[in-house]
Amino acid sequence: MTCAHLQAIAAGCDPSFTVDAARVTFGSGALAEVGDRARALGVTRAALFTDRQLRALPWFAEVETALRGAGIELAIFDEIAIEPTDRSFDDAVRFARDARVDGYVSLGGGSVIDTCKAANLYATHPAELRAYVNAPLGDARPIPGPLAPHLACPTTSGTGSEVTGIAIFDWLAHHAKTGIASPRLRPTEAIVDPRCTHTLPASVVAASGMDVLCHALESFTARPSTTRAMPAPATARPMSQGANPWSDLGCREALRLCHAFLVRAVRDASDHHAREQMMWAATLAGIAFGNAGVHAPHAMAYAVAGRVRTFHPDGYPGTDAIVPHGMAVAVNAPAVFRHTGPTSPVRHREAAALLGARGEIADTDGGHALAEQIIALSRAIELPNGLAGVGYTAADIDALVAGTLPQQRLLTNAPCPMPESTLAALFTGALAYW
């Protein structure tokens, strides 16, 4: 099946898909626009979210100058946890409420942007944390109305958080990563200045680049949106609506760009062109996955990141054990695509070709060919070798499966069922690749 939208659609399934995207401004120097753009949205006093490392970089000064130059008062919050938790979300919400702002600006990676989304949500529509959090851990209550304007300025070429309505955090009491997902959470505008990638350490470019790659691959191979049941009411169509012709567009181009530029961007910090192209790939893949949804590699990644014991990669601040998000996703990806290959052989083969697979690939080998390309890329940018490379052994598989099962929003977006036994086999297959 190449395009489900050209095929007969089963009774009760959803023949339509919705295209949702924030306004995006992309280009070198775009940060200078943030003041005018905030003012045009009616912002007079903004909460500016960033982290301590960024506060010392020129990008922060540019944003601060642009906002103040537009006559906007600022309240600055820089106490962002690298991996946000319910506790760090609470601190941010309290700050936002006390600061009495009418708009938000975030400058940073996914953690900063996600924290800003949560602060805006709970300051605008106060509720207990669990109210809007995804089921089964939270109540998944719909957000009752619009939020205050939020201008998101990403500084890493990875998460795509600036164009999605998703905020992820670690719920400490539950020992689980979960999140909030709603179109209302999507930033009002994304201001993407690819110069921000010039100052990133190579290991951050590598991990976030694999996140981009997986956003594109998972959205491209997610179950087709036409196989999901009709939503009732129509406005309840989920953001994770499955692969559709709109998300396919962004995925294909993001994959092509990852193949052309990821290795260059990691190996040579002075290759600004490659780094900037990865920022564009991140934006495209973010728009795609915000409209299609990711699946098993991301669901498994939350367990991989959440149960880390001692691993700490070079280039990341502090000494705490951490598996960066993109790395936690990438270690699962080859095992998953080997398994999902038969669900859409042509798509897996096409993805492998976009990532540089040469020669004839039989349809039946699509998943394996794709896995080989991901492994080759991982090696070229010196990513850890599978789960063992980030400190796990076969004895951890049960715990990793248990940590993945709560991610039903993602698991049901996979192209085939993902029961406990399958997840155990996938984690086993992900222990080491070379």
Note the residues at the interface with Zn ion (CB under 5 A). Answer: 211
**At its nearest, how many Å lie between Zn ion and the CB of residue 242?**
17
**At its nearest, how many Å lie between Zn ion and the CB of residue 331?**
13
Closest C-alpha to 164, from 134, 137, 187, 194: 187
Q: 44-56 in b/e burial notation, b at 16+ Cβ within 10 A? A: eebbbbbbebbbe
Do 406 and 418 contact (CB within 8 A), yes or no?
Answer: no
- Quick one: 115 or 226, whose CB is closer to Zn ion? 115
**At its nearest, how many Å lie between Zn ion and the CB of residue 336?**
14
**At its nearest, how many Å lie between Zn ion and the CB of residue 11?**
34
Closest C-alpha to 161, from 212, 114, 213, 204: 114
**At its nearest, how many Å lie between Zn ion and the CB of residue 298?**
6
- Quick one: 297 or 345, whose CB is closer to Zn ion? 297
- Quick one: 72 or 265, whose CB is closer to Zn ion? 265
Q: Strands 45-49 and 73-77: what pairing?
A: parallel
Q: Provide the 3-class DSSP secondary structure of residue 48.
A: strand
Do 370 and 216 contact (CB within 8 A), yes or no?
Answer: no
**At its nearest, how many Å lie between Zn ion and the CB of residue 130?**
23
Joined tokens for residue 191: 């201001």
Quote the CA–CA distance of 112 and 127 in Å, as a whole number.
Answer: 21
- Quick one: 63 or 210, whose CB is closer to Zn ion? 210
Helix axes 245-267 and 272-292, enclosed angle (nearest 10):
150
- Quick one: 72 or 168, whose CB is closer to Zn ion? 168
Q: How far is CA 143 from the centre of its chain?
A: 21
- Taking CB atoms, the residue at the shortest distance from Zn ion is 211
**At its nearest, how many Å lie between Zn ion and the CB of residue 285?**
9
Q: Residue 363: count other Cβ atoms within 10 Å of its Cβ.
A: 12
Quote the CA–CA distance of 91 and 47 in Å, as a whole number.
Answer: 13
- Quick one: 177 or 348, whose CB is closer to Zn ion? 177
Rg from Cα positions in the chain: 20
Do 172 and 88 contact (CB within 8 A), yes or no?
Answer: no
- Quick one: 161 or 182, whose CB is closer to Zn ion? 161
- Quick one: 110 or 341, whose CB is closer to Zn ion? 110
**At its nearest, how many Å lie between Zn ion and the CB of residue 108?**
15
State the DSSP code for 397: H
Quote the CA–CA distance of 215 and 217 in Å, as a whole number.
Answer: 6
**At its nearest, how many Å lie between Zn ion and the CB of residue 372?**
22
- Quick one: 295 or 307, whose CB is closer to Zn ion? 295
Joined tokens for residue 153: 């300025």
Quote the CA–CA distance of 242 and 291 in Å, as a whole number.
Answer: 8
- Quick one: 207 or 335, whose CB is closer to Zn ion? 207
**At its nearest, how many Å lie between Zn ion and the CB of residue 296?**
13
Give bridge partners of residue 134 from the DSSP assignment: none
Quote the CA–CA distance of 191 and 40 in Å, as a whole number.
Answer: 14
